[in-house]
């Protein structure tokens, strides 16, 4: 093997299936249908998908909180079944739900966690971690008196107590206000700059687009995309031009070079086109050739949201759900 090749992945997921136990006589929910992907070292990796897609199930399998039905996974090269201890030491996980013992102080929460990992007193980083998450002044306050944002930051510090090379955050910004979201991203960015591989799940497209180097999209327990963010956005080659006409029309204009054409109202029409095939100017020319006079024009780039919608709708039209409910 050439040592200059890409380093081994931070996380490797192979054909992971999860079927939750169902009620008596009823087959349980198939939350993951055989998912495989690698998380490269060093970046910020986004696991994107709508609610119920299976993101937390996958994270909880890595955390050892949920047992997979089939498949295998490695964390930092350690198999999560055969080498549970080392796998666990290589990862810090911030769960989706905030749970704390309300009577511990932030300092105690971190010290207890360090004790749990068997870290000797002189090697603990509690003060340093509190400073990193801007909670030094809350060192001795009861956890129950902290705001939601402070609790989330404390959870991040807690996940970093054993200095893992990988930090996983499950929906860190769900239900979080704009200012706190900004603070969280700063914190995640600075940890990443120090070399920590970050994995985060989110159902916010914009967030994934702005933060992540690579994005995997999961929908109904299946991986439907896994690409560098730039490539994923490039898949959105379609553009949309919205035209206001000087007189009403009753049928949408037709042209072989147009994609979807939608009559928004009798004087407004939205035309989707592939920007590799035709330009906005040519679209307008074709309309004028058909005798239409144009009063106003807006063009819009397709963004990650458009890619997401086209990818997820392609998959949900399959018969999977029907099959499952028909049982
Ligand atoms: P996400 O985090 O992407 O929103 P989840 O992994 O939480 O999705 O859930 C995936 C699917 O598995 C959902 O249909 C959910 O209802 C189901 N599910 C999650 N946890 C359990 C559980 N403990 N028992 C049964 N079904 C579950
Ligand atoms: Mg979830």
The pLDDT tens digits of the residues spanning 54-93 come to: 999 999 999 999 999 999 999 999 999 999 999 999 999 9
Please identify, by atom number, the ligand 1 atom nearest to the C-alpha of residue 221: 10
pLDDT value at 317 more than 70: no
What local confidence, expressed as pLDDT, does residue 3 receive? Answer: 55
What local confidence, expressed as pLDDT, does residue 183 receive? Answer: 85
* pTM score of the predicted model: 0.79
Instruction: Share the mean pLDDT of the chain.
Output: 88
Reported CATH class of domain 41-68+75-229? alpha beta
In 3D space, the residue among 103, 117, 218, 201 whose CA is nearest the CA of residue 161 turns out to be 117
Per residue in 137-171, pLDDT tens?
Answer: 999 998 888 988 888 899 999 999 999 999 999 99
Reported CATH class of domain 237-300? alpha beta
Residue bearing the CA closest to ligand 1, atom 12: 31
What local confidence, expressed as pLDDT, does residue 4 receive? Answer: 60
Domain boundaries, the chain: 41-68+75-229, 237-300
What local confidence, expressed as pLDDT, does residue 223 receive? Answer: 95
Per residue in 28-45, pLDDT tens?
Answer: 999 999 999 999 999 999
Does 247 or 99 have the greater pLDDT score? 247
Q: For the chain, what is the largest distance between any 2 Cα atoms, rounded to a whole number of angstroms? A: 81
Q: Is 219 in the pocket of ligand 1 (CB under 6 A)?
A: no
* Ligand located closest to 219 CA: 1
pLDDT value at 324 more than 70: no
């Amino acid at each position: 093997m050439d040592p200059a090749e890409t380093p081994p992945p931070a996380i490797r997921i192979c054909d992971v299936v999860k079927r939750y136990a169902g009620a008596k006589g009823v087959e349980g929910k198939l939350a993951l249908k055989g998912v495989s992907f690698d998380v490269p070292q060093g970046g910020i990796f986004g696991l994107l998908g709508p609610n119920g897609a299976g993101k937390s199930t996958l994270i909880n399998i890595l955390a050892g909180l949920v047992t997979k039905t089939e498949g295998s996974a490695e964390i930092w090269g350690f198999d999560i079944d055969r080498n549970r201890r080392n796998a666990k030491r290589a990862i810090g996980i911030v769960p989706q739900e905030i749970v704390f013992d309300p009577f511990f102080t932030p300092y105690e929460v971190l010290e207890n966690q360090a004790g749990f990992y068997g870290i000797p007193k002189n090697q603990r980083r509690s003060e340093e971690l509190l400073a990193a998450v801007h909670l030094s002044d809350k060192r001795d306050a009861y956890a129950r008196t902290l705001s939601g944002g402070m609790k989330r930051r404390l959870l991040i510090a807690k996940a970093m107590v054993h200095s893992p090379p990988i930090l996983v955050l499950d929906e860190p910004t769900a239900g979080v206000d704009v200012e706190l979201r900004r603070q969280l991203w700063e914190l995640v960015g600075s940890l990443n700059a120090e070399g920590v591989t970050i994995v985060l799940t989110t159902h916010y497209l914009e967030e994934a687009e702005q933060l992540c180097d690579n994005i995997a999209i999961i929908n109904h327990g299946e991986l439907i995309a896994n690409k560098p963010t730039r490539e994923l956005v490039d898949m959105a080659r379609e553009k949309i031009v919205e035209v206001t006409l000087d007189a009403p029309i009753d049928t949408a204009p037709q042209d072989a070079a147009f994609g979807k054409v939608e009559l928004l109202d009798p004087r407004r029409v939205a035309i989707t086109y592939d920007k590799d095939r035709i330009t906005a100017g040519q679209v307008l020319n074709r309309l004028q050739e058909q005798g239409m006079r144009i009063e106003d024009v807006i063009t819009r780039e397709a963004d990650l949201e458009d890619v997401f919608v086209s990818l997820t709708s392609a998959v949900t039209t399959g018969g999977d759900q029907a099959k499952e409910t028909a049982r």
